[in-house]
């Protein structure tokens, strides 16, 4: 089975469920606190593994208890942890996540060890990159320099694998080279606005399609913009006609945290395991899986296991 390799961030998510957000200088009572495993990279990896993929995670943790817990969690789920590096003198990454009653999330991350993932760390997985890999996934919670390094390397030594770059969190001056090296560049609507220099306010399918066009112009090969309850739009360099994929309607989302990561992990799963489906159908199935995650609290906790999902998603 071709592997899915995720290169990126992992951490501890501290959730504060609250009716409203405080104003400057204000202290308010929240409703509930909980802890989950998170980090965009880890979430994407776990989402794919829970669907039945064979995944490998490459990243860094600190030598604190949080790092050990994260590695144990990956192992329990079945993720290959061979290339996770424990680094002394840095803390494991952490995120403070406020979730309001409408399920919307407000996240502050402190990268910690995630910020120390260097090209030299990547080189330790050299044999892996020459092996049977279906998809490699990147996000931007680890250094861009490392992402660009591996994208370049893969385009030389393993050009058959699909390279998905999730441009989150967004950078306002992203090097065009990354757009060009990614096979699929995937962002949500607010990130797409930043990558298109805030020329467009994305508030409709039409404006999302305009952003797709601008991103293709900047050198992207295929762009996917996820739009929450509206699903996603996508377009490719070779077939720039944008397509809109609907998502199943969720009446009362409880917690949208990690839904975008579940989407990317699921998309990677379908790329590897359902290569005959067209991109529209792969995105549709990934949207369905993401829509399930918003109906429960937490990040990785809310990602479905394959055996709980309708069979048609895997036909």
Residues that bind ligand RIB (CB under 6 A): 9, 11, 13, 38-40, 43, 95, 107, 109, 141, 257-258, 260-261, 299
Nearer Cβ to ligand RIB (154/292) = 292
What would the two tokens of residue 204 be? 């409709």
CB of 51 to ligand RIB, least distance (A): 18
Answer yes or no: 64 catalytic: no
Nearer Cβ to ligand RIB (242/265) = 265
Nearer Cβ to ligand RIB (11/231) = 11
Quick one: how far is CA 182 from the chain centroid? 14
Q: Is 178 helix (H, G, I), strand (E, B) or coil?
A: helix
Nearer Cβ to ligand RIB (167/260) = 260
**What gap in Å lies between CA 237 and CA 155, rounded to an integer?**
18
- In which order are the strands placed within the sheet that holds 3-7? 84-87, 55-62, 3-7, 133-138, 162-166, 184-188, 222-226, 232-236, 243-245
CB of 299 to ligand RIB, least distance (A): 4
Question: Among 13, 36, 91, 261, which one carries the catalytic annotation?
Answer: 261
Nearer Cβ to ligand RIB (45/136) = 45
- Nearest position to ligand RIB, beta carbon: 38
11-17 vs 162-166, strand pairing mode: unpaired
**Sign of the dihedral through C-alpha 141, 144, 149, 151:** positive
- Polymer length in residues for the chain: 315
Quick one: how far is CA 260 from the chain centroid? 6
CB of 258 to ligand RIB, least distance (A): 5
Nearer Cβ to ligand RIB (99/208) = 99
**What gap in Å lies between CA 52 and CA 23, rounded to an integer?**
44
CB of 259 to ligand RIB, least distance (A): 8
Q: Which residues touch 22 (CB under 8 Å, ≥6 apart)?
A: 28
Are 2 and 133 contacting, i.e. CB atoms less than 8 angstroms apart? yes
CB of 223 to ligand RIB, least distance (A): 19
Tell whether omega for the bond before 169 is within 30 degrees of 0, i.e. cis.
yes
Residues designated catalytic? 261
């Amino acid at each position: 089975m071709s592997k899915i390799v995720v290169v990126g961030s992992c951490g501890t998510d501290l959730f504060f469920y609250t009716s409203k957000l405080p104003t400057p200088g204000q202290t308010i009572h929240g409703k509930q606190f909980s802890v989950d495993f998170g980090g965009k990279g880890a979430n994407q990896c776990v989402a794919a593994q829970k669907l039945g993929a064979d995944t490998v995670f490459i990243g860094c943790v600190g030598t604190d208890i949080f790092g050990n817990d994260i590695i144990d969690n990956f192992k329990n789920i079945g993720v290959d942890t061979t290339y996770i590096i424990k680094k002394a003198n840095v803390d494991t990454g952490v995120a403070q996540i406020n979730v309001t009653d409408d399920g919307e999330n407000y996240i502050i991350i402190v990268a910690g060890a995630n910020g120390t993932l260097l090209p030299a760390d990547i080189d330790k997985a050299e044999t892996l990159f020459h092996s049977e890999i279906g998809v490699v996934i990147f996000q931007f919670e680890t250094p861009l320099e490392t992402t660009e390094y591996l994208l370049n390397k893969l385009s030389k030594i393993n050009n058959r694998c699909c390279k998905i770059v999730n441009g989150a969190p967004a950078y306002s001056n992203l090097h065009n080279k990354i757009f060009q090296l990614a096979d699929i560049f995937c962002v949500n609507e607010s990130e797409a606005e930043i990558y298109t220099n805030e020329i467009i306010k994305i508030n409709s399918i039409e404006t999302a399609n305009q952003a797709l066009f601008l991103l293709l112009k900047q050198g992207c090969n295929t762009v996917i913009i996820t739009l929450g309850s509206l699903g996603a739009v996508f377009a490719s360099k070779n077939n720039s006609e944008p397509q809109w994929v609907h998502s199943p309607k969720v009446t009362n989302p409880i917690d949208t945290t990690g839904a975008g990561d579940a989407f990317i992990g699921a998309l990677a799963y379908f790329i590897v395991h359902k290569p005959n489906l067209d991109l529209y159908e792969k995105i549709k199935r990934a949207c369905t899986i993401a829509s399930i995650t918003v109906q429960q609290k937490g990040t990785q906790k809310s990602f479905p296991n394959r055996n709980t999902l309708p069979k048609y998603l895997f036909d």
